């Protein structure tokens, strides 16, 4: 073969190789870095199941699911670009946006229609009402969403925030500090704290929870959050990610054994029975509300959202009340029929 012929063959081979690489059937799945708000627990199954059973892959997504260390930490990591999508308390996003006007974040799905943020204390102790927290010590991780939202709970319930002694603690030591009397109270997601207590054989009757939602705080719960420019560049990625989450939700509801199996792949030490109980509490308390039953997930009442944003403006020391449409958008949701749970 002549030199020219060899060059022609190489050129043709290059064309064929390029054609194969760009052919639709050979398109690479889109990598998505996703971070949870907390450890791998029962209520996180909607995100791990589709990563395990091929649902994300069906939607051309290559998703990594990492545990979180509190909503505040998750928000910061998404804002930094370390992760593409995160799960965090909505109002941790609001607070971050208020403090970082040049690094705004956007909620694209309301995962929890009702907040499960709370203060917990010993039922036999002296604290019976929110006002009894005045002058007390409270232990919590710095990034914990319940701690981040405590100013709103305090403002509505006439608690002097300056009188509170906060004890910074790692997540695994929080409940222990309360039980040992090293803190008068703790803050934490209701489903996390109550189930962690169950895991160490502490009866639920021994713990007095004060869910913020039961004490005048009309809060939404956790959301999927992204950077706005990521959303604009990847609308189909977000929509398909949500489709995967909806699949995971239905598996968690209807097949808790499979849900727990998915979580155990990431943390073999979790207690399956405790996590099943956590799933039930999560579904009953924050996932399944009358609104969700009737309209499907992420059916956000923008007027309600606006009221909550007005409520957090003062305790969060925001310069202005955020506009609801700048915090949450339904633009990237799949059609509403796909957001139904039945």
Residue 19 in tokens: 């054609």
| SS3 call for 74 | helix
130 CB contacts (<8 Å, ≥6 apart)?
119, 153, 154, 157, 158, 159, 210, 215
Say which residue, 9 or 187, is predicted with more confidence: 187
- pLDDT tens by residue, 192-215: 899 899 889 999 999 999 999 899
Interhelix angle 45-52/235-254, nearest 10 degrees = 100
Residue 229 has pLDDT above 50, yes or no: yes
| SS3 call for 31 | strand
Over residues 44-73, the mean pLDDT reads 97
User: Can you give the pLDDT at residue 143?
Assistant: 81
CB atoms under 10 Å from CB of 231, counted, come to: 20
30: buried, middle or exposed (CB in 10 Å: 19+, 13-18, 0-12)? Answer: middle
Over residues 148-168, the mean pLDDT reads 94
Residue 177 has pLDDT above 90, yes or no: yes
Q: How far apart are CA 197 and CA 179, in angstroms?
A: 9
Radius of gyration of the chain (CA): 23
Over residues 301-309, the mean pLDDT reads 95
Residue 7 has pLDDT above 50, yes or no: no
Residue 118 and residue 187 in contact, taking contact as beta carbons nearer than 8 Å: yes
DSSP character at residue 211: E
pTM reported for the whole predicted model: 0.82
Residues pairing with 131 in the sheet: none
User: Can you give the pLDDT at residue 342?
Assistant: 85
Residue 157 has pLDDT above 60, yes or no: yes
pLDDT-derived band of residue 12, with 50, 70 and 90 as boundaries?
Answer: very low
Residue 303 has pLDDT above 90, yes or no: yes
Residue 234 has pLDDT above 80, yes or no: yes
- pLDDT tens by residue, 244-270: 999 999 999 999 999 999 999 999 999
274 CB contacts (<8 Å, ≥6 apart)?
42, 195, 198, 199
Residue 25 in tokens: 């059937």
Over residues 140-159, the mean pLDDT reads 90
Say which residue, 11 or 170, is predicted with more confidence: 170
User: Can you give the pLDDT at residue 297?
Assistant: 98
- Residue 51: which H helix or E strand, with range? helix 45-52
Q: How far apart are CA 275 and CA 38, in angstroms?
A: 14
Residue 13 has pLDDT above 80, yes or no: no
Q: How far apart are CA 275 and CA 43, in angstroms?
A: 8
297 CB contacts (<8 Å, ≥6 apart)?
109, 110, 111, 113, 246, 249, 287, 339, 341
Over residues 101-114, the mean pLDDT reads 96
Over residues 141-161, the mean pLDDT reads 91
The domains of the chain, with CATH numbers, are: 28-113+220-339 (3.40.190.10), 118-214 (3.40.190.10)
pLDDT-derived band of residue 8, with 50, 70 and 90 as boundaries?
Answer: very low
10 CB contacts (<8 Å, ≥6 apart)?
none
Over residues 133-156, the mean pLDDT reads 92
Q: How far apart are CA 247 and CA 120, in angstroms?
A: 33
pLDDT-derived band of residue 131, with 50, 70 and 90 as boundaries?
Answer: very high
Over residues 100-105, the mean pLDDT reads 95
Q: What is the 3-state secondary structure (H, E, C) of 296-341?
A: CCCCCCHHHHHHHHHHHHCCCCCCCCCCHHHHECCCCCCCHHHHCC
User: Can you give the pLDDT at residue 4?
Assistant: 41
Residue 70 and residue 76 in contact, taking contact as beta carbons nearer than 8 Å: no
61: buried, middle or exposed (CB in 10 Å: 19+, 13-18, 0-12)? Answer: buried
Average pLDDT score, the chain? 91
User: Can you give the pLDDT at residue 26?
Assistant: 53
């Amino acid at each position: 073969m002549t030199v020219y012929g060899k060059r022609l063959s190489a050129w043709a081979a290059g064309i064929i190789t390029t054609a194969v690489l760009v052919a639709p059937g050979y398109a690479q799945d889109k990598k998505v870095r996703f971070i949870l708000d907390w450890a791998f627990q029962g209520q996180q199954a909607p995100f791990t199941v589709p990563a395990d059973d091929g649902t994300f892959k069906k939607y051309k997504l290559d998703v990594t699911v990492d545990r979180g260390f509190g909503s505040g930490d998750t928000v910061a990591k998404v804002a930094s670009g370390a992760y593409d999508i995160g799960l965090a308390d909505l109002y941790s996003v609001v607070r971050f946006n208020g403090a970082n006007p040049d690094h705004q974040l956007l909620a694209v799905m309301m995962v929890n229609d009702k907040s499960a943020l709370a203060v917990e204390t010993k039922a036999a102790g002296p604290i019976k009402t929110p006002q009894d927290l005045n002058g007390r010590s409270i232990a919590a991780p710095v990034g914990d969403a319940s701690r981040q939202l405590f100013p709103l709970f305090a403002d509505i319930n006439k608690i002097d925030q300056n009188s509170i002694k906060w004890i910074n603690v790692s997540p695994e030591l929080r409940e222990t500090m309360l039980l040992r009397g090293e803190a008068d109270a703790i803050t934490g997601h209701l489903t996390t704290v109550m189930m962690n207590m169950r895991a160490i054989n502490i009866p639920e009757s021994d713990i007095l929870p004060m869910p913020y939602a039961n004490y005048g705080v009309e809060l939404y719960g956790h959301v999927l959050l992204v950077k706005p420019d990521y959303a604009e560049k990847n609308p189909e990625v977000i929509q398909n990610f949500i489709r995967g989450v909806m699949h995971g939700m239905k598996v968690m509801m209807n097949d808790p054994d499979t849900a727990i199996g998915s979580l155990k792949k990431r943390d073999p030490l979790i207690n399956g029975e405790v996590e099943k109980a956590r799933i039930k509490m999560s579904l009953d308390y924050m996932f399944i509300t009358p609104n969700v039953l009737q309209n499907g997930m992420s059916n956000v009442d923008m007027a309600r959202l606006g009221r909550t944003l007005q409520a957090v403006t003062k305790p969060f020391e925001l310069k202005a009340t955020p506009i609801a449409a700048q915090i949450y958008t339904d633009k990237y949701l799949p059609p509403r029929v796909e957001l139904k749970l039945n």
